[in-house]
Structure 1
C-alpha cells in the first residue's frame, strides 16, 4: 500500500493544532492504538511549533509543509506486520546552524520566549526514527517515522 497526503499551512501558531489533528485523521485508516495516535500528534505538534517559532521567528507570511506517507512494509521481512508512516515537516526559514547542538535536551535558540529546549527530545521519544536536515537560510526538513502494527 502506498498512500500519501500533503498539507501546506500558514506559519501561524493557531494552525499547529489543525496540523496535529489532520495527520492523526489521515493515519486513522490504519486503526492505530490511542497511544500511537497520541505519539504522532505530540511529535507533529513539536515539529510544527519548531518550524514556526525557530524557523520563521513567528513570521506569519510563510508556510509550513507537511507530507505524510503510508507504506506497507512487505519488502522488509523483519517488519512485514507493520505499516511505515513517514511524516515530513518542512519550513523554508532560517535553518539550523548546528543540528547536533539543537538536538541536545534543554538547548533553545529562543531563550527570550522561555522555550524548554525539549522539542527534538520529545520527537525522538515518541517516534521510531527521526532525521533532521537543515541549511542556513534555506530551511529545515524534519522526517519522522512511526511503525504501526497491522
Structure 2
C-alpha cells in the first residue's frame, strides 16, 4: 500500500510534539513495533528541533515542512526548512558537533537519526535551507496467534 502526507507548521518548539504525533499517527495503521514507533518519534523530534534551533535560530515565524510516505512498509520522512543551511554537512553530522554551544546542545541529533533509521541523507545550501531525508523499513506484519 502506498500513502503519503505533507504538513507545514510554524518553527516554534511546541510544534515538535505535534510533528511527532502526526508521524506516529501516520505509521500506526502499518502496525509498527513499539521500538519502531519510538525510533520514528525520536528522529522526527531531532530533525524538527534542528530545523527550529539551527535552521531558523528559534525565530518562530518561519515554516517547517514534514513529508511522510509509505510504500510496501518502507517509510520515508523528510523534514525541510528554508533557513540558514549547513555550511559543512559532514562536520555537522559528526557526534558531539553543535553550532549552538551557547545552548548546551549535545550535538548528537544526526547520530541518533543514523542509529534509528536505515538511511539518512542531508541536503543543505547555505541561506537556502536543509532537507533531512530518513528511510526505515518496517518489520513484517506478524499474524495474530489465537
Matched, 1:149 2:139: yes
Which of 96, 104, 124 pairs up with 1:134? 124
Matched, 1:23 2:13: no
| CA distance in 1 between partners of 2:28 and 2:90 (Å) | 33
| Matched residue, 1:52 | 52
The alpha carbon displacement at 1:2 in A equals 1.5
Deviations 1:7-38 (A, max 9, x none): 10100001101100110110111000100000
Aligned length: 140
Aligned residue runs from structure 1 range 36-115, under 5 A = 36-72=36-72, 83-115=73-105
| Matched residue, 2:12 | 12
Secondary structure of the equivalent of 1:104? coil
Secondary structure of the equivalent of 1:97? coil
Aligned residue runs from structure 1 range 118-129, under 5 A = 118-129=108-119
Cα RMSD (Å) of the superposition?
0.6
Please, what TM-score do these two structures have when normalized by structure 2? 0.94
| CA distance in 1 between partners of 2:43 and 2:61 (Å) | 24
Structure 1 runs not aligned, ≥5 long? 73-82
| CA distance in 2 between partners of 1:94 and 1:13 (Å) | 17
| CA distance in 2 between partners of 1:26 and 1:107 (Å) | 31
| CA distance in 1 between partners of 2:28 and 2:2 (Å) | 15
Matched, 1:32 2:32: yes
| CA distance in 2 between partners of 1:149 and 1:120 (Å) | 23
| Aligned structure 1 segments of 4 or more residues deviating by more than 2 angstroms | none
The alpha carbon displacement at 1:149 in A equals 2.0
